[in-house]
Amino acid sequence: MIVRPRPGFLRLLFVVRGTILPRVLPHVLVIAGLSCLVVWTLQRGLLRLPVTSPAPLSLLGIALSIFLGFRNNACYDRWWEARKQWGALLIELRAFTHTAIALLDDGRAELPVVGRETARRLVYRNIAFAHALAAHLRGHDARADISRFVSEPECSRVLTSGNRPNALLREQERELATLRREGRLSDITWGALSGRVHGLMSVFAACERIRTTPVPFAYTVLLHRTAYIFCLLLPFGLAEALGWFTPVLAAMIAYTFFGLDRLSDELEEPFGDAPNDLPLLALARTGEINLLEALGEPQPEPLRPRDFILE
Amino acid sequence: MIVRPRPGFLRLLFVVRGTILPRVLPHVLVIAGLSCLVVWTLQRGLLRLPVTSPAPLSLLGIALSIFLGFRNNACYDRWWEARKQWGALLIELRAFTHTAIALLDDGRAELPVVGRETARRLVYRNIAFAHALAAHLRGHDARADISRFVSEPECSRVLTSGNRPNALLREQERELATLRREGRLSDITWGALSGRVHGLMSVFAACERIRTTPVPFAYTVLLHRTAYIFCLLLPFGLAEALGWFTPVLAAMIAYTFFGLDRLSDELEEPFGDAPNDLPLLALARTGEINLLEALGEPQPEPLRPRDFILE
Amino acid sequence: MIVRPRPGFLRLLFVVRGTILPRVLPHVLVIAGLSCLVVWTLQRGLLRLPVTSPAPLSLLGIALSIFLGFRNNACYDRWWEARKQWGALLIELRAFTHTAIALLDDGRAELPVVGRETARRLVYRNIAFAHALAAHLRGHDARADISRFVSEPECSRVLTSGNRPNALLREQERELATLRREGRLSDITWGALSGRVHGLMSVFAACERIRTTPVPFAYTVLLHRTAYIFCLLLPFGLAEALGWFTPVLAAMIAYTFFGLDRLSDELEEPFGDAPNDLPLLALARTGEINLLEALGEPQPEPLRPRDFILE
Amino acid sequence: MIVRPRPGFLRLLFVVRGTILPRVLPHVLVIAGLSCLVVWTLQRGLLRLPVTSPAPLSLLGIALSIFLGFRNNACYDRWWEARKQWGALLIELRAFTHTAIALLDDGRAELPVVGRETARRLVYRNIAFAHALAAHLRGHDARADISRFVSEPECSRVLTSGNRPNALLREQERELATLRREGRLSDITWGALSGRVHGLMSVFAACERIRTTPVPFAYTVLLHRTAYIFCLLLPFGLAEALGWFTPVLAAMIAYTFFGLDRLSDELEEPFGDAPNDLPLLALARTGEINLLEALGEPQPEPLRPRDFILE
Amino acid sequence: MIVRPRPGFLRLLFVVRGTILPRVLPHVLVIAGLSCLVVWTLQRGLLRLPVTSPAPLSLLGIALSIFLGFRNNACYDRWWEARKQWGALLIELRAFTHTAIALLDDGRAELPVVGRETARRLVYRNIAFAHALAAHLRGHDARADISRFVSEPECSRVLTSGNRPNALLREQERELATLRREGRLSDITWGALSGRVHGLMSVFAACERIRTTPVPFAYTVLLHRTAYIFCLLLPFGLAEALGWFTPVLAAMIAYTFFGLDRLSDELEEPFGDAPNDLPLLALARTGEINLLEALGEPQPEPLRPRDFILE
């Protein structure tokens, strides 16, 4: 995710880093070049265009704007829903932690150490879950993070599972059920903690849904194709009416359409590594810090953006 | 569902498989042909068009874009809601499984075998439910899958029911109530598992709602009709102003409008067999794998896309 | 609700039944006739129009499209929310039934008959509720259906109430409280069933909200009026530029605008008897069938569409 | 709220009462008058306009339509959310009532009178809450209604509070806690009723949010201003092209834009006294009727619309 | 937040305070000045523009309107969601307070003082939470407010935490768990209060999500840039067709586009200090007043708007 203080009104016009410009520039230049060629040949009389009005092209352009707007909307919603799910992850992690510590370990010396140890084990497993989820969505390997927070032999069970976040939640449920069976959690307090694990599972499944189900492929193709052909037709439609203004306007329109198309692509898969994707590593780190603070243990530094990009 | 790595900027222009092009091509060609005919007769002086401006047609075209955009939105929302429901299905299946196993079978040798057997029976019934739901929505017969996971005489009761997924949930509720009556589930733990069954029922009813309630038929007709007549009028409106550019632009516009209309049709019924429909079989398989892994039993392979299509 | 297999691409152009065409045809013909008159007088030189450009009319037309699109959206949302509520009704009915039967009657011979009788009474009352709700929303009288499923003296109490669905839910709550007081339901199981009754109450109140609160009347008037006057002005704006194409295009635009206006009217009140309204009777029947099947009793046939219309 | 049977297609064109026309007519007439003046001076040659094309004005007009559509949408959503909250109010009131009566008073003679009295006091307090909320949102004084349903000394405590609906809910919670402490409600049944009070509090806070937080003031100003200036510019832009059609079209456009602007204003504050605002008094009365019927006491008549307006 | 009675129809045209005008005026003047220059040089014959039609510019303008409308929508949704979260904060605060007081202290003299003291401590901590949250989101220091309501040594623990609102919720959970362990709260009543704390945590995490996750930076740049260049091109496109009307229309369009762009910027970060941002201090004060009233203690005055601005 790009994190930078909003530049001033003017500087905003010339910012490059963190924008979509570098990725669409080649295509915009193609359109501008084609426009120059069309205008030049037209003014030399080498070409006679039958087009006498740019209005029909406008119709296609407006229809295209409406449909691009739709896809853009759908992709932005996916991105924002993904962010909401990670917000819910933090809620469930903190709520579980506060409740588990308060129920099992009240921090006073006269309580047996075993309660504190149990709470710590439950909370550590949740930290591992946050890292495992980030890695699962990004396609990384979270082996190191998991083994820091989960001890053997559970750790090997988790690492050999095809679905590590799911395996961690299963272990969590199992330990909660054991605590209930041993009478250290009542039915009600077991239900409260198990409800939090259910919440984590919802977050996990929602993230998987977003990751595995792209916007229908036919949209991507249909709109990308129409946008590209439209921009290729533009110079022919505008050259008669605009003369040497054609390259400027055609490039502007191409920049807007290609830029939105490209940005939609990035937002469609919010868990990737692209600059506008979600900072999963930073969010997982935030969770780790919150949970370690609740345990009263030393915490790592939060992740900082590098070159305005937070991972 | 079409699953393929996003092709490059250029290749995306020429992809055919998985796009809507093959299904709308004949109609686009009709429009292109008509355009050629109109331009040819016009330039030969065989036809005199009274139309001197394409602006009025633009008005209809923009109105049409707005209304097509609406239907497209409504259909996409149905598709995405259907996918969310199947995501919720996986959540409820996993949550039920983790809780049931944890409560009834803690995996240690000293516990009686009967708890493990019970948990296994409950989880197996849920796997059968996932397959039965996929088959019910697709109009297939899930007899084989159900009989693999549910034993007699329950299996015959389910298979003779007019509504198999519903019958399976009824059996599930009945067994949970029996476990509660026998004291193996407390009121609270019974409530937690019964809440999951309620969640499965919600998913089932939501899927049925989407399947049985199409977007009002009058929309489909009104928009399809207007789009078709609009594209038939296009050549007459554009020929004077665009000359031999007419077939190109008319075909582009027809491709966009017919393509969106057609894509909306596919997304409207997300549980069908069309390429852009939801991969119900693969999702049910995913559920089966997750649940069998939780039981510690051997799991089948996940379904893989064939020709980029995941069923 | 109109239920028909989607006709082919071409037939869709000529379908009449189930479309909005018959209801807007007279008005479309008025516009077409006026257009002919304007073109004829214009070409005869009997009329001189000061209008030299159709562009200003386009502006009004596009603004109108955007605002009609808004109302259309709002009305469709009401319709779809109404359908969702009836979906939720089926969820709550089934969930209540499964739970009630499982808790009170496990279907085995050694259990006392009284449990089965109680469950049957509770479920029958829910069937009566579904029919009473459908009748309440449609303004029918559900006396026959209620008396089939609720016995005296409760039936008279319900029939004399000004709000029968509400009265049935009150009776349901009362019986649940009695069962709890008699110890046949524990606090927790009482809470589970009472939660379902709360769900039914939510459905009921949401349906009442949609039925009694139309889209603000001023919208309907403002948009209807603007659309009509716009279509009356159309021929004057288009005749100069389009000649004898005017009637065709004006009729197309009128068909689209009047059609959407009319369709919005129908969807605004989803509980009426119009062809595009919701099939309340069929949905209530589905509920009855599901519940009777759960009780193991003979079930009526589901309602079938007549002339493609499901009531 | 305006409640009237939908007039016929034609009458709808001439309806005045309940529409936005009277409030925008003066401004529409200003625009029409200005248009006449411009056309007259133009045709007399007293004015020479440099404008040769209405197209640039169209651009501003379409942008304005999109932005007005946005504000309109936001205001309608506020109005509809407010109505949903009052729907939720009725749900919570009825659910509380049914549960409280069923738990505390089963209507049979052998039960002690004290249960019935308690239930009656709880339900009466809820009726007072509905009236207090309506009055609070409208800025009225509900002293009379509150003192009818709450007895001393509680009534004075409530009336002296700065926030009467909140004070009533506090009293409700207090009595529920007392009932629990006295053993007349178990923890679970206390939780069920307290959950309903929580629901009432949510409704109350949501209504307060809508009432105290208008759509950002800058929107209102920006759009109102742009719409007004746009309509003032219209005659200059259209006169050349449209001649004496200018006043008609300018008035139509002004009517649509001012009408939507004005309607948005009304819907933005759904709790006011304007004709399109919500019928809070009628809704509170409905609640009173439902609750008194549940208690078996005589009920007042429902409020009827006067001059098609329901308060 | 700007709070002012809606000025009359005419005055609304000239209001300055609380509008976006002062911040976009310089840029609007630049566009107007450029327009004058273009028209002057054009009429002097010093410049020959190749542009003969403003239609192509319209196309870009309409596309831009649609995309600006999208960003505007997304930013408004963030602002309104933020307001909803603060509404939910008030709900949870009041509900917790009513329940805690009712359960622990029924206000009658015969009860031990300790219950009242405990309830007071819990409620005070919630007041501190409201102030700490407002300060956390605004980047202020809430030291004074926290130390008024939380006593030592807890206060130092909270003040040294990196995340004060989170630390306060942790303390709350800890005290609730202690009360449960001491038997002063049953499992069920503990669950009810702990559920409210969970609600507060949800509000907190949602506010943090909105604060730390801006709308993707590339949108801001893309739209700001396109809008600015579009307005710079406007004079060249319009001057031929509009003559000295060009500065008026160009300034109007620039005002609308820059105004919406700017307003979106403000709403995007609803927790800042800009005039259209949310009145966090006033909302926290409202919470304090409600909670102190529930305790029967003297309350501060509500915050009043200064110069129509509520902080």
Check whether C105 has a pLDDT greater than 80.
no
- Angle CA(B25)–CA(B30)–CA(B31) in degrees, nearest 5? 100
Confidence band (pLDDT; 50, 70, 90) for B111? low
What letter does residue B306 receive in the DSSP assignment? B
Residues paired with residue A20 on neighbouring β-strands, in sequence order: none
Report d(CA E24, CA E260) in Å as an integer. 10
Region B232-252: mean pLDDT is 87
Check whether A305 has a pLDDT greater than 90.
no
* Residue with token string 């037209």: A42
Cβ contact E107:D210 at 8 Å: no
- Whether the CB of E12 is below 8 Å from some CB of chain A: the reply is no
Check whether A10 has a pLDDT greater than 90.
no
- Whether the CB of C27 is below 8 Å from some CB of chain D: the reply is yes
Which of B103, E191, E124, E119 minimizes the C-alpha distance to A103? Answer: E191
Express as a percent the part of chain A with pLDDT over 90. 43
Task: Quickly list DSSP for C41-92.
Answer: HHHTTS-------SHHHHHHHHHHHHHHHHHHHHHHHHHHHHHHHHHHHHHH
> Residues 149-188, chain B: which have Cβ within 8 Å of C?
161-163, 166-167, 169-170, 173-174, 176-178, 180-181, 187-188
**Better-predicted residue by pLDDT, C134 or D19:** C134
Cβ neighbours of residue D183 under 8 Å, at least 6 residues apart?
Answer: none
Which of C55, E65, B110, B245 minimizes the C-alpha distance to A229? Answer: B245
A38-84 confidence digits (pLDDT tens): 999 988 887 777 666 667 788 888 889 999 999 999 999 999 999 99
A230-252 confidence digits (pLDDT tens): 999 888 888 887 888 889 989 99
Confidence band (pLDDT; 50, 70, 90) for B109? very low
* Residue with token string 């307003």: E263
Q: Up-side HSE of residue E267: CA atoms within 13 Å toward CB?
A: 25
**How many other C-beta atoms are found inside a 10 Å radius of the C-beta of residue C139?**
10
- Cβ of C202 within 8 Å of Cβ of D91? The answer is yes
Q: What is the pLDDT of residue C22?
A: 85
D31-74 confidence digits (pLDDT tens): 999 999 999 998 888 777 766 666 778 888 888 999 999 999 99
Check whether B110 has a pLDDT greater than 60.
no
Cβ neighbours of residue C244 under 8 Å, at least 6 residues apart?
Answer: B50, C39
- Whether the CB of B274 is below 8 Å from some CB of chain C: the reply is no
Report d(CA B239, CA B41) in Å as an integer. 10
Region B227-231: mean pLDDT is 91
Check whether B233 has a pLDDT greater than 80.
yes
* Phi, psi for residue B109 in degrees, rounded to 5: -65, -30
* Residues of C with Cβ-Cβ distance to B216 under 8 angstroms: 1-2, 76, 79, 263, 266-267, 276
Integer CA distances (angstroms), D209 to B7, B42, C75, E306, in order: 48, 64, 25, 20
Integer CA distances (angstroms), B58 to A57, B42, E263, in order: 10, 21, 32
Q: Minimal Cα distance from D97: which residue of C?
A: C170
Q: What is the pLDDT of residue B133?
A: 95
H-helix segments, chain D: 21-43, 55-104, 113-138, 143-149, 154-160, 164-181, 187-212, 217-242, 246-268, 280-295
Q: What is the pLDDT of residue B219?
A: 87
Q: Which of A121-135, C48-62, D87-101 has the lowest mean pLDDT?
A: C48-62
Q: What is the pLDDT of residue E105?
A: 67
Q: What is the pLDDT of residue C80?
A: 95
Cβ contact C146:C164 at 8 Å: yes
Q: What is the pLDDT of residue A134?
A: 94
Express as a percent the part of chain B with pLDDT over 90. 43
- Whether the CB of E264 is below 8 Å from some CB of chain D: the reply is no
- Cβ of C289 within 8 Å of Cβ of B188? The answer is no
Cβ neighbours of residue D62 under 8 Å, at least 6 residues apart?
Answer: C59, C62, C63, E58, E61, E62, E65
Q: How many residues does chain B have?
A: 311
**How many other C-beta atoms are found inside a 10 Å radius of the C-beta of residue C266?**
19
* Residue with token string 């091509």: B25
Tokens read off for A197:
């694990």
CA A138 to centroid of chain Cα atoms: 10
- Cβ of B217 within 8 Å of Cβ of C57? The answer is no
Check whether C286 has a pLDDT greater than 80.
yes
Cβ contact A246:A239 at 8 Å: yes
- Cβ of E241 within 8 Å of Cβ of D53? The answer is yes
Q: What is the pLDDT of residue A23?
A: 85
My answer on whether omega of the bond before D300 falls inside 30° of 0, hence cis, is: no
Q: Which of C106-110, D140-144, E273-277 has the lowest mean pLDDT?
A: C106-110
Region D153-178: mean pLDDT is 89
Task: Quickly list DSSP for B223-241.
Answer: HHHHHHHHHHHHHHHHHHH
**Better-predicted residue by pLDDT, C10 or D83:** D83
Coil/strand/helix, residue C17: coil
Coil/strand/helix, residue D306: strand
Coil/strand/helix, residue B302: coil
Q: Up-side HSE of residue E216: CA atoms within 13 Å toward CB?
A: 34
- Cβ of A52 within 8 Å of Cβ of B241? The answer is yes
- Cβ of A106 within 8 Å of Cβ of E178? The answer is yes
Region D255-279: mean pLDDT is 89
Which of E215, E181, D139, E50 minimizes the C-alpha distance to A6? Answer: E215
Confidence band (pLDDT; 50, 70, 90) for C287? very high
Report d(CA C197, CA D94) in Å as an integer. 11
Which of D166, D265, D272, D287 minimizes the C-alpha distance to D219? Answer: D265
Q: Write down the domain spans for chain C.
A: 25-76+216-268, 79-214+281-295
Q: What is the pLDDT of residue C310?
A: 85
Which of D232, D227, D243, D241 minimizes the C-alpha distance to D36? Answer: D243
A147-169 confidence digits (pLDDT tens): 999 988 888 888 988 889 999 99
Region D88-105: mean pLDDT is 89
Instruction: Return the residue in C52, C59, C187 with the most chain D beta carbons within 10 A, the one to mutate for interface testing.
Output: C59
Coil/strand/helix, residue A8: coil
Cβ contact E19:E2 at 8 Å: no
Q: Minimal Cα distance from C192: which residue of B?
A: B191
Report d(CA B276, CA B22) in Å as an integer. 14
Q: What is the pLDDT of residue C52?
A: 62
Confidence band (pLDDT; 50, 70, 90) for A109? very low
- Whether the CB of A73 is below 8 Å from some CB of chain E: the reply is yes
Cβ contact C58:D53 at 8 Å: no
C199-245 confidence digits (pLDDT tens): 999 999 999 999 999 999 888 888 888 999 999 988 888 888 788 88
Cβ contact A112:A253 at 8 Å: no
Which of D294, D293, D292, D287 minimizes the C-alpha distance to D303? Answer: D287
Report d(CA C205, CA D286) in Å as an integer. 12
Check whether C279 has a pLDDT greater than 80.
yes
- Closest CB to E102: pick one of D62, D177, D221: D177
Cβ neighbours of residue B288 under 8 Å, at least 6 residues apart?
Answer: B127, B130, B131, B299, B300
Confidence band (pLDDT; 50, 70, 90) for C109? very low
- Cβ of E225 within 8 Å of Cβ of A2? The answer is no
Coil/strand/helix, residue C270: coil
Cβ contact D246:D35 at 8 Å: yes
Q: What is the pLDDT of residue A113?
A: 67
- Whether the CB of A76 is below 8 Å from some CB of chain B: the reply is no
Q: Is the ipTM of this complex over 0.90?
A: yes
> Residues 278-297, chain D: which have Cβ within 8 Å of C?
289-290, 293-294
Coil/strand/helix, residue E2: strand
Residue A151 burial class via C-beta count within 10 angstroms: exposed 0-12, middle 13-18, buried 19 and up: exposed
Confidence band (pLDDT; 50, 70, 90) for B29? very high
- Whether the CB of A111 is below 8 Å from some CB of chain B: the reply is no
* Residue with token string 């306060």: E168
- Cβ of A94 within 8 Å of Cβ of E205? The answer is yes
- Whether the CB of C115 is below 8 Å from some CB of chain B: the reply is no
* Residue with token string 């080649």: A26
- What is chain E's pLDDT, residue by residue, as a tens digit (311 residues)? 887 777 776 777 777 777 788 888 999 999 999 999 999 998 888 777 766 666 778 888 888 999 999 999 999 999 999 999 999 999 999 999 988 988 886 545 445 667 788 889 999 999 999 999 999 999 888 888 899 999 888 889 889 888 899 999 999 988 998 888 888 888 888 989 999 999 999 999 999 999 999 999 888 888 888 999 999 988 888 888 788 888 998 999 999 999 999 899 889 999 988 888 899 999 999 999 999 998 889 999 999 888 888 88
Q: Which of C122-136, C236-250, C286-300, E109-123 has the lowest mean pLDDT?
A: E109-123
**Better-predicted residue by pLDDT, A7 or A63:** A63
- Cβ of A241 within 8 Å of Cβ of E51? The answer is yes
Which of B295, B290, B302, B311 minimizes the C-alpha distance to B101? Answer: B295
- Whether the CB of A243 is below 8 Å from some CB of chain E: the reply is yes
Report d(CA A29, CA A254) in Å as an integer. 9
**How far is C70 from chain D, CA to nearest CA, in Å?**
7
Integer CA distances (angstroms), D46 to C50, D37, D49, D250, in order: 19, 11, 10, 21
- Cβ of C62 within 8 Å of Cβ of B62? The answer is yes
Which of E262, E291, E311, E186 minimizes the C-alpha distance to E23? Answer: E262
Report d(CA C58, CA D62) in Å as an integer. 10
Q: What is the pLDDT of residue E106?
A: 52
Q: What is the pLDDT of residue E132?
A: 95
